[in-house]
Structure 1
Amino acid sequence: MALYVCLDILLVSITVIFLYLLRIGAQRKSSSPTNWPVLGMLPAVIHNAHRIHEYATEILIESNGTFEFKGPWFCNMDMLVTSDPANIHHVLSKNFSNYPKGPEFRKIFEILGDGIFNADFELWEFHRKTTLSLMTQPNFYSFLERNTWQKIEKGLLPTLEGFLEKGVDIDLQDLFQRFTFDSICKLVLDYDPESLSIELPYIPCEKAFNGAVEALLHRHILPEWIWKLKKWLQIGKEKTLMKAWKSFDDFIYPLVSINDEVEKQEDGYRLLKSFQRKYDEIGKKCSARGDSHEFLRDTSLNLMLAGRDTTSTCLTWLFWLLAANPSAEMKIRQEIEDELHKKEDKKWRNFSVEESKKLKYLHGALCESLRLFPPVALEHKAPIRPDILPTGNHIEANKVVLLSFYSMGRMEMIWGEDCLDFKPERWISERGGIKHEPSYKFTAFNAGPRTCLGKEMAFIQMKMVAAAVIYHYNIEVVRGHVVSASDSIIIQMKHGLRVKLSKRNVF
């Protein structure tokens, strides 16, 4: 308890000591933090921790996309923060081999173990090749299509209808998180936890993701010794992270054991079983995990994180953006009727993976949601060897380079003067097709060799969900509901998205 009190006193003291100086600094027109003796720029970060992504964006805009952050002299927190596309391209593509995840990344994201997000070199190649081979199997997209529509018909729409009949508002973000959690569990673990229902059951593993991603961001902000001390004391966000860790293990390990016993299931997509076979063949040679159960736990958790949070985050921001831009919503409905032939019979019909490609304006709307609110806010890199970035910045070996994906969508130098506007047309070519943007400019799915393998899968699933909801319901954000981005690795809504539903007269 004494250590707990001392730690709090230390943090409060840092804030109090520099509060007056910060107020003086706030009078300056510059957003750049003051580099104080001993403490460096940390006081400004602590002062803006509640809006860290917006603050980073202000600094990067003022600094033309690249900024050298100076941490306290005793904490080894100096880093370079950038949102410059040339730097992004250099780090993620051109000089990819020099920028592995590295030991510092693994230290921060230790909860992910030997999963793909933490993996480097041979282990990363094993994960990527195995995942790619499984996703290119002939039955993968038919399985995705069947299970997505099943979850929409038996989970999402009945739940929305239930709340509509009750006449109460609902947190749309919570529903989308439950939807994607159930879907990714079915894909990875061949198990549907059925968290999406009118009862909205509490499943610790499903809710654990939210606290975990917030704690992981704080590990980037705080000096390592502070978050390690908090972890040892089991307090604050570190306590939340440890509880999340236990929830993940309690949920995943029993299902891994069940999958280990099942040899064949004709109706299922045996992703985890396939991973186990590959691990037994070659994976154990490059993994530090002692047995296949630990490795499969890490693999499952990484895939669950990718499948739950990224897709649900994009859908949540999409519906908020559409509520603020009703003309765009009308165009999406018109496109659904025109391209999927709903206009003639006024009857909803589930569409196929191939048919989803016809929904180009909806595709553009999803891209705008991803551009303005990329699910993964930042990327953490550290070079093995010294390097010079295209902007001329010298990077020492092992120095942290933070790539701010969130800031990129808000920079005029990248997207023009209308960068803050929601314009699905931005993604439509003159010929009416989908306009391609380089991955180092549109980084929602990362870039270079680590580009997300689930990109196409995500667009298919999001189009199915978004089209079904937009076609059946009018959605209005509850008056007075505050919408802001969360201070976490994943750009969720801090207070959810409270909405009221009304039925569309389409029949």
Structure 2
Amino acid sequence: MVKMQTFVVSAFLRYFDMLLLLVVLLASIGLFLYQRRSYHVINWVLFGMTPDLILNAYRVHDFVTDLLKLSHGTFMFKGPWFTNMDMLLTSDPTNVHHILSKNFSNYPKGPEFRKIFDILGDGIFNADHDLWEFHRKTSMSLLKHPDFNSHLEENIKNKIEKGLLPLLEFVSNNQQETDMQEIFQRFTFDTICLLLLNYDPETLSLHLPYNACEKAFMEAEESILWRHLLPENVWKLQRRFNIGKEKNLIEASKAFDEFIYKCLSRKENELNDFERVEKEVGLLKYLITSFQGQHHGTSTNTRTFLKDTILNLMIAGKDTTSTGLSWFFYLLAQNPSTESKIREEIEKQVGGSKWKYLNAKELDGLVYLHGGLCEALRLYPPVALEHKAPSKADVLPSGHAVNEHSKIILSFYSMGRMEWIWGEDCLQFKPERWFSEKGGVKHEPSYKFTAFHAGPRTCLGKEMGLIQMKMVATAIIYHYHVELVKDQEVCPADSIILQMKYGLKVRLFPIREIKT
């Protein structure tokens, strides 16, 4: 047995050394050519376009954007001939509309998507057909509950009052630098746990406690992106030997399971207290009672299915919202005139010197705030890409033919950077882009503005996410001027969720000091 293990390890090390040598060789060749040419991707006979991908892995979203700009929105990326890594990249709104809406039934998530996103189990993001219909119906019935919106707003208000503002006051009074991205991640983690699990982990507090589940989201999302870039055999080998990004994904999965199952056990023990349960308005109570005695998806265990459902909804409500807020304040800090206009809107709506929270209806009147958030979501959509595969042969509006073996990547990040979609000023932060001629909010079709997806799979939590972002943004902008720490590098992480690789370091200055 020992000899067999030694042989396996030795064989793996030889394979890994050969792979490493190949990567170095490709990178060297690519670097040599990169230094001798203007920007152009070379398709090698054996290696495809992999050398360019390796050179640009640290900026993969911008690399894809460069390719799409050269090809008017659709580009066939060729991988090594032996890896089945050819991918059709597109940012063409007509293709997006075709895939996500007009021919929706031909583009399910499919087995390839499920393989890459296996950590999501039988949750809504992995679901197709009847299982997806079940998830969507369950979620919609909860969102339509007459008390849901008031319960949501109350949770957010309490977290702002007891968590966010005390922490920002402490940071400001002590003239400290702080990472706003981390603050937003902790805020949305606490609020989504309150909403889904009826439990507040209180990660947003003065001492910023470590929570393994909260930190696991970024690790998982980065690892999943790398599954798109590496040959399947490579990342599966990493998983088998518990190394590389796959090790991070395994550890993240364990952290998710431990946290969610612990919360489920706590709630299950409370279910005998009928009077207390009847008074609750929460997703966990609703899900437990809805799923009781039922089996769905590939799992025969109701508890596992419930865990998968909750994890998917946590991902939908945590990092997408925190990422949107992070990029919004990054852009706002570079545009102080916009910050002032938003603050004027807030002060007018508040109607006095004393701060009060604005409800959903009052928030709708903040046109500059809405436009600023939409601009941030246009330039930095939290979900940067979507992986699709047709179930049968098709021809896209761009004229590209695809079949059941094709891999299609919809680059939502690239769409916001295309002049032919948004105009010559597409890289500028202009909240006015979202103003109608009558001074209200301008509507853009979802296949052009894809921050909340499009078609039948349009995000059900769109309004919930916007309400949370607006409530947080108004509280901060009313009380503080946010200034970026100089000489920091702010860039997208190599992740399926477009978080900031190094965070967002800022200083906070109370408005009362600025006005005196």
TM range (shorter): over 0.9
Kept after mapping to 2: 8 A contact 1:93/1:447: yes
1:186 aligns with 2:194: yes
1:15 is displaced (CA, Å) by: 2.9
Kept after mapping to 2: 8 A contact 1:31/1:59: no
Alpha-carbon distance between aligned partners in 1 of 2:381 and 2:106, rounded to the nearest angstrom: 25
1:8 is displaced (CA, Å) by: 4.3
1:438 to 445, 456, 469: 445
Counterparts in 2 of 1:458 and 1:7: CA distance versus 1, 3 Å: farther
Q: Counterparts in 2 of 1:1-12, with a 5 A limit?
A: 2=10, 5-12=13-20
Match in the other structure for 1:86: 94
Kept after mapping to 2: 8 A contact 1:276/1:292: no
1:31 is displaced (CA, Å) by: 3.9
Alpha-carbon distance between aligned partners in 2 of 1:26 and 1:275, rounded to the nearest angstrom: 54
1:464 aligns with 2:474: no
Kept after mapping to 2: 8 A contact 1:156/1:179: yes
Alignment TM-score, normalising by the size of structure 2: 0.94
Match in the other structure for 1:58: 66
Match in the other structure for 1:120: 128
Letter in 2 for 1:493: M
Kept after mapping to 1: 8 A contact 2:203/2:211: yes
1:401 aligns with 2:390: no
SS at structure 2 position matched to 1:195: coil
1:20 is displaced (CA, Å) by: 4.2
Kept after mapping to 2: 8 A contact 1:190/1:269: no
Alpha-carbon distance between aligned partners in 2 of 1:275 and 1:306, rounded to the nearest angstrom: 17
Q: Deviations over 1:385-408 (max 9, x none)?
A: 000000000001131111000100
1:239 is displaced (CA, Å) by: 0.4
1:481 aligns with 2:488: yes
1:380 aligns with 2:405: no
Q: Counterparts in 2 of 1:66-465, with a 5 A limit?
A: 66-263=74-271, 264-266=276-278, 268-280=280-292, 284=295, 286-341=296-351, 345-465=352-472
Counterparts in 2 of 1:333 and 1:397: CA distance versus 1, 3 Å: same
Kept after mapping to 1: 8 A contact 2:324/2:382: yes
Alpha-carbon distance between aligned partners in 1 of 2:377 and 2:20, rounded to the nearest angstrom: 36
Kept after mapping to 1: 8 A contact 2:27/2:54: no
Q: Deviations over 1:81-131 (max 9, x none)?
A: 100000000000000000000001110000000000000000000000110
1:215 is displaced (CA, Å) by: 0.3
Q: Deviations over 1:28-82 (max 9, x none)?
A: 6664421112221122112211110000000000010001111111111112110
Alpha-carbon distance between aligned partners in 1 of 2:38 and 2:443, rounded to the nearest angstrom: 35
Unmatched segments (≥5 aa) in structure 1: none
Alpha-carbon distance between aligned partners in 2 of 1:218 and 1:255, rounded to the nearest angstrom: 30
1:309 is displaced (CA, Å) by: 0.3
Alpha-carbon distance between aligned partners in 2 of 1:86 and 1:10, rounded to the nearest angstrom: 43
Match in the other structure for 2:3: none
SS at structure 2 position matched to 1:265: helix
1:361 is displaced (CA, Å) by: 1.0
Alpha-carbon distance between aligned partners in 2 of 1:184 and 1:32, rounded to the nearest angstrom: 44
1:13 is displaced (CA, Å) by: 1.7
Alpha-carbon distance between aligned partners in 2 of 1:154 and 1:90, rounded to the nearest angstrom: 46
SS at structure 2 position matched to 1:433: coil
> Pairwise CA RMSD of aligned residues?
1.6
Letter in 2 for 1:304: M
SS at structure 2 position matched to 1:354: helix
Alpha-carbon distance between aligned partners in 2 of 1:169 and 1:231, rounded to the nearest angstrom: 38
1:2 is displaced (CA, Å) by: 3.7
Alpha-carbon distance between aligned partners in 2 of 1:288 and 1:73, rounded to the nearest angstrom: 33
Letter in 2 for 1:317: W
Alpha-carbon distance between aligned partners in 2 of 1:97 and 1:57, rounded to the nearest angstrom: 28
Kept after mapping to 1: 8 A contact 2:26/2:50: no
Alpha-carbon distance between aligned partners in 1 of 2:19 and 2:498, rounded to the nearest angstrom: 26
Kept after mapping to 2: 8 A contact 1:184/1:304: yes
Match in the other structure for 2:505: 498
Letter in 1 for 2:433: R
Kept after mapping to 2: 8 A contact 1:388/1:395: yes
Unmatched segments (≥5 aa) in structure 2: 1-8
Alpha-carbon distance between aligned partners in 2 of 1:3 and 1:55, rounded to the nearest angstrom: 35
Counterparts in 2 of 1:28 and 1:371: CA distance versus 1, 3 Å: farther
Alpha-carbon distance between aligned partners in 2 of 1:132 and 1:326, rounded to the nearest angstrom: 39
Kept after mapping to 1: 8 A contact 2:29/2:51: no
Kept after mapping to 1: 8 A contact 2:31/2:55: no
1:27 is displaced (CA, Å) by: 4.6
Q: Would you say how many aligned residue pairs link Structure 1 and Structure 2?
A: 502
Alpha-carbon distance between aligned partners in 1 of 2:227 and 2:26, rounded to the nearest angstrom: 22
